[in-house]
Chains A and B, each alone.
Chain A
Amino acid sequence: MLPSPFTPHFLTQLETLRLRTRKEFLGSHPGSYSSPRRGTSLEFADYRRYTPGDDLRYLDWGIYARSDKLYVKLFREEVDLFAYVFIDASASMGYPSRELKYLPATHVALALGYIILANHDHVKLHLLQEQNGLKASPFYRGRRRMTDCVNFAAAATPGGALQLAPALGDHLKTLRRPGKAILISDFLMPAKAYQAGLNLLRAFNLDIAAIQILSRQEVDPRFPNGSLALVDSETEQEIKYRWSADARSDYQAKLARHNAELRSFCHQSGIHYSLYVTDRDLGEFVFATLPAIGLFK
């Protein structure tokens, strides 16, 4: 059973979208994404000198008329897409609750996954967790596998601390085909940590999109004024903090600066970036925000 946002109407709307990639990948089947290989699509790629045996249908007669030389038109090959959706399933994604952060994050992943499945492309879900053993689904293809995606994502419970780069590295070791990588995380980690992770994805020649998931309580914390003992959900580290209106403003300024640094890094690295606050409407995010950053064609 699909989660509540995935109504038939919502799914129908999702089917109208197609992911956009900024790189060319070698697919396994004909599809709608361009490949570095020459193929039989309608998209012109290049010319080359005619050699005997070439299909005469691809001769450019216009050039022959001007230069008296035979050239054959080459076209791009269009292949299917392999997409990898990495979902941060560390303890911080369970804050303030699984329902208020992790599940909305999976809903974004599922929405993107459904878009991929609906286009007969391949999608594979990866859970980024500290626990031993990689949690990754097989490649799904076809919209009928949406239920499998939902079951895989919903079965997980966020927990443990996450070292982004090592966790990604473990998953990337199993990748055989380049493609589209979508990283869904709260990115509440030092800049060096997320930069290392994203750079690792770049090194694997993946076209990357980073979607930052934050709950409303993280964007605008409402603690009681006074002395607090704040506990890190992943490391269990505890600090004393005196909460007040000024402290809240200070926190929000730091969060904005942190997000700006993340956005700047993604922009410089050619990574699609978007922020999703979980109390926002998923449809609005998918149909308005993500297209705006060029994630869809």
Chain B
Amino acid sequence: MEFLNPTGLFGLLALPLLLIPYLIRRKPKRIAFSSLLLFLESGEAASAKPWGRVNLPPIFFLQLLLLALLIVAVSEPVFSIRPTNIAIILDNSASMQALEDGKPRFALAKERASAIVGQLGAGGKVDLYLTTPRLEKIHAAPLAPAEATGIIAAQMPYDLAEPPTDYGNLLPQLARQQKFERIYLITDHPARGQSVAARVITVGQPRANFALTHLEVQRSSLVNARLEARVEVANYSERDEKLKIVLKGNGAELASREVVAGAGKTASVAFEGFADRPAYEAEIANRDALPLDNRRFAVAPASRNLRILGITPRPRELDSLKAIPGVHIETIAPSDYDQTERTGYGLEIYHFAAPAALPATAALFILPPENSSLVDLGVPVNNVTVSNWRAPHVLTRYVNFNLFRTSYARPLKPQTAGDIVIDSAAGPLAFATERQGVRYLTLGFDPFPYLGRDNLPMSVFTLNLLDWFFASRAGNSQATGEAIFLGKVQSGDRLILPGGKSLAITPGAGFFGGAFFQGIYQLNRGGTVEMYARNLLDPGESDLRAATPIAIGGGEQSSGSASLLFSFWPYLLIASLMLLLLEWFLSPRMASIKFWRGPSRAAQRS
């Protein structure tokens, strides 16, 4: 027997309320007697207490049964015949790694799934789905139960956030389209209601949890090698917690701090002056329900030596950047662009040039030719005056725009979304945008050559833009599931996953889309190693206090599901009605049983 509306069973908790009328002291029958002499020893004086001893007449048990039947009827009990063609959707999102009495939720989900499959007959068919990174079937043809059990056992949860999905509508729709007799969703979300075709099985309870929500490792500035790290922790519990944060570099502890995070709030802690390591990891030392989000990874910020590739027809102007400490620039002519190996550069400056497609590294476009993918150019103007600028912004800080003069400029006409950083009466002069973590800046004027103190506003702006690009190469991480752009792949390049597994990268592959696990991904490219950090960034997965319930409507049924159900709650309602009639019939008669009640008032008066 199952219940289509199991929430109704909570009504059984209200059954004890039926006792209240019986607990409340009813005014007892008042009977006059000649003398109370012989009763005084064992009687008690009348009191005004509202509560008395429980005196449960037989009618109480009739009422109890009536109420219980009604509650069970509201829960819509059904006898179901076991389906043979089912689908099981396993929630493999990051929150399924939370521990329930030392056991991960996903392991519990697999046990429930295996149990469901085990109840199928030999001729049963099972389709298996995973919810992340997107809801999709993990095999082509329907599986036999034994085969499905093996596949279920091999599944692992991803360190990914669950994509927003309306399961309330999706499950019945999927069951109808794929002609499943029943579809099970095993998740850590609570269910609100069940339907014949779609069942939600909930594993796990609301729990307190802490999470590292931010880790950023960067250098103080372009010319300062001192490292800084900022860690943010969130406390998803009902009480304040003192958390110990440990910063590690290549597995070795570098520093640790303690911070108090208020209930439901975040706290941040900063580390400074630690050793330079290729990769960093912050960790919460305290134990909680979800260990996954207690760790967060970041790669080391770029070396303070910024390697720049300049594509310019006028290399001498770009060479002036060599006057800035830590900047190494190599220039090529635009015609040599295709033949040049462009790996290892932190910034590409396209001086009066533009590539056919946006480069995978940060790029500065200075007066690009017409029909650039980012901007179009307006009519040239001379001695343009800056009329507006973004502040505060890294690009505009410390720049005195009253003295900022460009002898030649072409206003920009942005063709894509981004920020207009510097504006003039003729139009935008600086346009910044960011795509997949890569920053692009387009200027409608030429800030070069770098003249140092001879043109302070422009020099400050130039240093700012280098800082801005430099910051983009800081140790920021991206979310799990985001692709790792591989650039130009050569034979022999390998990608090492956080678990240590090494993948050979096919030449020509532009990106790696399987970064579903949190940690450091290492791209071995010839002799060099590039590192990419991926972290679980969705606080919804870390907040285990109250998952969003899944509301399943009972109205829609798949074509094959109607025959699987024998609903008998109407019979319970009929039984309840009969009990009600019985109570109505019995109650007044039980009250009027002829007990002797003392002399009538009329007799006493006569």
Contact = CB atoms under 8 A, between A and B. Distances in A.
Contact of B36 (A96, A215, A224, A230): A230
Interface string B572-606: 00000000000000000000010111111001101
Contacts of B55: 226-227
A233 B28 contact: no
Interface residues on A, range: 35 or more
Interface stretch (A65-73, A185-193, A269-277): A185-193
A102 to B, nearest CB: 11
Interface residues of B, number: 34
Contacts, number: 121
Most chain B CB inside 10 Å of its own CB: which residue of A190, A217, A224, A247: A224
A233 B35 contact: yes
Interface in B19-44: 26-44
Contact of B28 (A98, A186, A226, A250): A226
Interface string A219-233: 001111111111111
Contact of A217 (B35, B37, B596): B596
Interface stretch (B45-53, B101-109, B263-271, B546-554): B45-53
A257 B408 CA distance: 128
Contacts of B43: 230, 239-241
A135 to B, nearest CB: 19
Interface in B45-95: 45-47, 52, 55
Contacts of B42: 241, 247, 250
Interface in A205-226: 215, 217-218, 221-226
A159 B39 CA distance: 21
Contact of B33 (A95, A190, A247, A254): A95
A227 B45 CA distance: 12
A237 interface: yes
B46 A228 contact: no
Interface in B230-283: none
A26 interface: no
Contact of A229 (B27, B593, B596, B606): B27
Interface string A234-252: 1101111100000100110
A94 interface: yes
Contacts of B593: 224
Contacts of B40: 239
A95 B37 CA distance: 14
Which residue of A96, A223, A251, A258 has the most chain B CB atoms within 10 A of its CB atom? Answer: A96
Contacts of B38: 188, 251, 254-255, 258
B45 A231 contact: no
Interface string B143-184: 000000000000000000000000000000000000000000
Interface-centre pick from A241, A247, A255 (highest chain B CB count, 10 A):
A241
A92 B34 contact: yes
A223 B47 contact: no
Which of B28, B35, B599 counts the most chain A CB atoms within 10 A?
B35
Interface string A176-196: 000000000010111000000
A97 interface: yes
Contacts of A223: 31, 595-597
A239 B44 contact: yes
A196 B29 CA distance: 35
A223 B36 CA distance: 14
A239 to B, nearest CB: 4
A230 B27 contact: no
Interface string B439-473: 00000000000000000000000000000000000
A188 B596 contact: no
Nearest to B594: A224
Contact of A240 (B37, B46, B603, B606): B46
A230 B31 CA distance: 5
Contact of B47 (A235, A237, A240): A240
Given A96-B598, A226-B55, A229-B46, A237 B28 contact: no
B45 A240 contact: yes
Contacts of B595: 222-225
A258 B41 CA distance: 13
A228 B27 CA distance: 9
B32 A95 contact: yes
13 contacts: A92-B34, A96-B598, A97-B603, A189-B35, A222-B595, A223-B596, A224-B596, A226-B29, A226-B55, A230-B31, A231-B30, A231-B33, A240-B47
Nearest 4 A/B pairs, CB to CB: A224-B595, A95-B34, A188-B35, A239-B43
Given A97-B604, A231-B30, A238-B45, 15 more contacts: A95-B33, A95-B599, A98-B606, A186-B34, A224-B597, A227-B29, A227-B52, A227-B55, A232-B35, A233-B35, A234-B34, A239-B45, A239-B46, A240-B44, A241-B39
